[in-house]
Amino acid sequence: MLFSTAESTVILAIDTLIIHANQDSSSVQEMAEAGALDALLDLLRSHHCEELSARLLELILRNPKVRETKICQFVLTPLSEYILDPDTVSESAKILIAMALGDISQHEGLAKATDSPVACRALISLLEEEPSEEMQMVVMRALGNFAMHSRTSRKAMAEAGGVYLVQEMLKSYAMEREFWTTAAMNVEIVRTLNAILTTFPKLRSSEAATACIPHLIGALKFGEQEARDSAMDTIYTLRQSWITMLTETARSQAVLAAEAIPVLQLMMKSKSKSKSPAPSSFHERGNSLLNCLPGSLTVAIKRGDNLKRFNAFCGLIIDNCPTKKTKVVKRSSSPVWKESFTWDFASPPRGQFLEIVCKSNNIFRNKNLGKVRIPIDKVLTEGSYSGIFKLNDESKKDDSSDRSLEIEIVWSN
């Protein structure tokens, strides 16, 4: 393509400014103060040097100090109008302007501006054009921020059909395993999903939200710290709505979210051992999730000691649950069982106790050798609880017996 002398001069000038913007953040603020935003917006309106102008605009608006200036309050409408203009055909310029709107949406004051609904409608129009994967993520991030900060933006999104479009997009993402395996650690994706589900409660009971839960758990396991925090916040947000959802939907989400139990337990342990104090909200949400997710309690009776060659066996009792028994080990003072028993719970058995009674299997009657009573609450957040437990014989006032059991208790998915 041949350019006029004037166009070539403009292109060279913008190229030079882009280089300076990438090398020195202070130059970006100086450009904004010198009127670069207005000049670049004029170029966009006239559809000249669109991609270069859009790239420099996004670089300038990415700077937090620039977003604090008053001039940014007046760029929302021109940027939105450029996207909505039927003469705008450059896809690369559109995505750069969508990124610029996403930069603006991070500033709460700008996201609440009176022009923000126009920006939302412009962004939604991009979702209606079979956008690329990159465009989808850019638009979703921006819409999530606008909607989170502004009630009028939420209304504008709903009126423009944005909620439906976002729901369909989430559903398609949930089905694309390859997309999540490469991007699940991307903070922006999880943060955006959290913003959308926080802002639009109706989406929480959708098939799309349910399908995203395994990917959120993937981010919780393998993502960076900010991605993990956002993933836990998102699962917690869904959990808050289970009481209002259809029972079947809530149960499905809870079962999927239960896969997070081991990693939540690990995170709670690591935070408690960390020298830097964890935010109280982290512990509150972590505990809240661990105390509501369905799971399984597995109890391993490993061995006994000092049982004086009794024919010993153990009975395991939890309130309102079937009693379980070990095999009988004959004539051993240190019987080895190595038997495990599992109970499944729709919700954690908070406040309940595991009672293990050790007995001797005699011909005429079973003799109590002692019992141990263990609170289950301890294992819910820690994941496992094990050790040597002394058997107490309540029939003897002075119980100096050294009979014991080696036990391991695990709460998991």
Same domain, 253 and 300: no
pLDDT in tens, 239-260: 999 999 999 999 999 999 999 9
Is residue 312 located within the same domain as residue 241? no
Residue 286 forms part of a structural domain: no
**Do 72 and 221 fall into the same domain?**
yes
Do 378 and 264 touch, CB atoms closer than 8 A?
no
| In a shared domain, residues 14 and 142 | yes
State how far the Cα of 358 lies from the Cα of 325, in Å rounded to an integer.
10
Are both 246 and 332 inside the same structural domain? no
The domain containing residue 52 runs over which residues? 5-259
Tell me what the pLDDT averaged over the chain comes to.
82
Residue 192 shares a structural domain with residue 59: yes
Residue-wise pLDDT for 293-346, tens only, equals 999 999 999 999 988 888 899 999 998 888 999 999 998 899 999 999 999 999
What is the rounded radius of gyration, in angstroms, for the C-alpha atoms of the chain?
A: 31
221 with 366, same domain: the answer is no
Q: CATH number, domain at 347?
A: 2.60.40.150
Q: How many helices (H) and strands (E) does the chain have?
A: 20, 8
Total number of domains in the chain: 2
Q: Indicate the residue among 212, 234, 259 that finishes a domain.
A: 259
Q: In this structure, is residue 264 part of a structural domain?
A: no
pLDDT tens figures, 41-60? 888 888 888 888 888 888 88
**Prediction pTM value:** 0.70
What was the pLDDT predicted at 406?
Answer: 93
At 67 the three-state DSSP class reads helix
Q: How far is residue 174's CA from residue 183's CA, in Å, rounded to a whole number?
A: 12
In this predicted model, what pLDDT tens digit does every residue of 226-242 receive, in sequence order?
888 888 889 999 999 99
Q: Does 243 fall in a domain?
A: yes
On whether residue 79 sits in a domain, the answer given is: yes
Residue 6: pLDDT over 70 = no
Q: Tokens 């309050």 correspond to what residue?
A: 73
| Burial status of residue 332 (CB atoms within 10 A of its CB: 0-12, 13-18, 19 or more) | middle
Residue 88: inside a domain:
yes
Residue 277 placed within a domain: no
Q: Are 249 and 319 contained in the same domain?
A: no
- What's residue 3's pLDDT? 43
Domain match, 161 and 14 both = yes
**What is the tens place of the pLDDT at every residue in 147-184?**
878 778 877 777 777 777 777 767 666 656 555 555 44
Strand order in the sheet with 324-325: 324-325, 312-318, 353-361, 366-375
Do 50 and 177 fall within a single domain? Answer: yes
- Which of 241, 259, 277 delimits the end of a domain? 259
**Residue 267 domain-assigned (yes or no):** no
Q: Which of 238, 259, 280 is the last residue of a domain?
A: 259
Bridge partners, 343 (sequence order): 297
**pLDDT computed for residue 184 by the predictor:** 44
Both 252 and 303 in one domain: the answer is no
| CATH number of domain containing 59 | 1.25.10.10
Residue 144 domain flag: yes
Question: Does one domain contain both 54 and 174?
Answer: yes
